[in-house]
């Protein structure tokens, strides 16, 4: 199951929603700060979930506008969601492959220290952005999950910063 499918099934498990409602919930909860969910993909994913029997759609009158297709999670969708959540939490995943591949070329790149410093600045900026996004999460029954996710991202980025400092010290020692 993709991250977008998991996210949308989670929102449908809370209550039936139209594509517009899914998009609004994603905006309100700042989900796009840590997921790849784009507005254009909401409808595509909803259609895919319905086609696979994980969600079902019904039409309801729009409030002063066109009819809306409202999707709700099915029994099969709830089972798939439970399996996906259990799988996602069953194993610790390693760090991203791209930085690791870059490290393989450590001694072939004369500007590695500059690239490492840029990565460190980017991680620090991302921490500030994540803290700012976390402050905008509205209170309410669904506020805890986004806050915990933002905190997880901040802790990960702090670990990245600590690793950057460690790597720079190792490089400096090696050059001396």
pLDDT in the model for residue 77 = 96
Cα–Cα distance between 84 and 87 in angstroms, integer? 5
Q: Distance between CA atoms of 146 and 138, rounded to whole angstroms?
A: 10
Show the tokens assigned to 3.
């991250």
In this prediction, residue 88 carries a pLDDT of 77
Please tell me the distance from the alpha carbon of residue 74 to that of residue 141, in angstroms, as a whole number.
Answer: 23
Taking the CA atoms of 157, 160, 166 and 167 in sequence, report the sign of the dihedral they define. negative
H-assigned helices in the chain:
3-14, 19-28, 39-51, 75-88, 97-104, 112-135, 144-175
Closest CA to 137 of 156, 159, 120, 153: 153
Give CA–CA dist 121/100, Å, rounded.
Answer: 18
Closest CA to 66 of 20, 129, 24: 20
* Rounded Cα gap, residues 147 and 141, in angstroms: 12
Neighbours of 109 (CB within 10 A): 13
Phi-psi label, residue 68: left if phi above 0, alpha if psi -120 to 50, beta otherwise: beta
- pLDDT at position 62: 72
Residue 162: the pLDDT is 93
Tens-level pLDDT at each residue, the chain (176 residues): 888 999 899 999 999 999 999 999 888 887 777 777 888 899 999 999 999 999 999 998 877 778 888 999 999 999 999 898 888 777 666 666 556 656 665 555 567 777 778 888 888 999 998 898 888 887 888 888 888 989 998 999 999 899 888 888 887 787 76
Pairing mode, if any, of strands 17-18 and 68-73? antiparallel
* Maximum Cα interatomic distance, the chain, rounded to a whole number of Å: 73
Q: What is the pLDDT of residue 86?
A: 82
Comparing CA positions, the residue from 71, 68, 70, 89 lying closest to residue 9 is 71
> What pLDDT is recorded for position 101?
58
């Amino acid at each position: 199951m993709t991250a977008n499918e998991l996210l949308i099934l989670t929102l449908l498990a809370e209550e039936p929603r139209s594509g517009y409602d899914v998009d609004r919930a994603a905006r309100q909860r700042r989900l796009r700060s840590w997921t790849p969910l784009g507005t254009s993909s909401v409808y595509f994913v909803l259609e895919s979930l319905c086609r696979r029997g994980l969600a079902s759609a019904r039409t309801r009158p729009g409030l002063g506008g066109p009819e809306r297709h409202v999707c709700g999670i099915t029994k099969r969708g709830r089972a798939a969601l439970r399996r996906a959540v259990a799988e996602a939490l069953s194993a610790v995943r390693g760090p991203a492959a791209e930085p690791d591949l870059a490290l393989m070329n450590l001694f072939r790149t004369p500007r590695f220290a500059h690239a490492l410093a840029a990565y460190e600045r980017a991680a620090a900026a991302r921490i500030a952005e994540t803290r700012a996004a976390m402050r905008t999460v509205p209170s309410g029954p669904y506020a805890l999950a986004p806050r915990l996710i933002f905190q997880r991202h901040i802790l990960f980025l702090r670990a990245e910063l600590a690793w950057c400092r460690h790597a720079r010290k190792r490089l400096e020692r090696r050059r001396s």
